[in-house]
Amino acid sequence: MGAAGAAKGTFYVYFDSWEDLLLAIRARVYESFDRRLLMHGVLKDEAAW
């Protein structure tokens, strides 16, 4: 948190727990991966992870 320039306490304004943060990161990574696959024609429709 310090490296990002955010106070440790502000973390819980956006996420209820560390697990919620990790789930949000995972969702973003999967969405990005799906977009790349769609862009390259590997997927025909959006995949539901």
Whole-number pLDDT of residue 1: 55
Whole-number pLDDT of residue 20: 92
Whole-number pLDDT of residue 45: 65
**What would the DSSP string read from start to end of 1-49?**
-GGGT--GGGHHHH-SSHHHHHHHHHHHHHHHHHHHHHHTTS-SS----
Q: For residue range 1-49, what is the model confidence (pLDDT) as tens digits?
A: 556 667 777 777 888 888 998 999 999 998 888 888 887 777 666 555 5
Whole-number pLDDT of residue 25: 93
